[in-house]
Amino acid sequence: MIEEKKVKAAAKRAGMVVKAKKKTAIARAVIQKGTGKVKINKLSLDAYAQGVKREMIREPLTLASEVMPELDIKVNVKGSGSMSQAFAIRAVIAKAIVRAKGKKYRDIFLAYDRALLVDDVRNVEPKKPLGRKARAKKQKSKR
């Protein structure tokens, strides 16, 4: 009984933890009440990404612009390439907002892009014998 109270109190302080994946990129976010800051690997969003990646990561933030001033999101991402990381970050931010604010935002995100809330489970096919890649094989000469 006492331990349950301690666990619940620690969870309130730390906020809610959410996870998203794309290929081998794994993004974890902690969402808590705050002033609207978004930190990715301890950097601000503008310092972390430029151009298309920044706009892609901002999509869930603009869709939920009325609740963002009251939430702080800290994202930790690692693995894979920069685009896969950007997809994972955008998905984890959307999942965190839905977890904090409820069904209204779930419907908004699903109507906009299903990939915001559903992880992409596709992965690179493994390399096969006698080939340079998964499907490419050594050329055979007929003569």
Tell me if 55 sits within 8 A of 63, measured CB to CB.
no
SS3 state at 110: helix
The pLDDT value recorded for residue 13 is: 59
pLDDT of residue 143: 80
Q: What is the pLDDT along the chain (143 residues), one digit of tens a residue?
A: 666 665 555 555 568 899 999 999 999 999 999 898 999 999 999 999 999 999 999 999 999 989 989 899 999 999 989 999 999 999 999 999 999 888 899 999 999 999 999 998 888 899 999 888 999 988 888 88
* Nearest CA among 54, 30, 32, 50 for reference residue 42: 30
pLDDT of residue 110: 93
Note the pLDDT of residue 8: 56
SS (H, E, C) 111-137: HHCHHHCCCECCCCCCCCCCCCCCCCC
Tell me: domain 14-116, CATH 3.30.930.10, correct? no
Look up residue 132 and give its amino acid: R
Q: What pTM did the predictor assign?
A: 0.81
**Tens digit of pLDDT for each residue in 39-73?**
999 999 999 999 999 999 999 999 998 998 989 99
Which pLDDT belongs to residue 81? 92
3-class SS of residue 7: helix
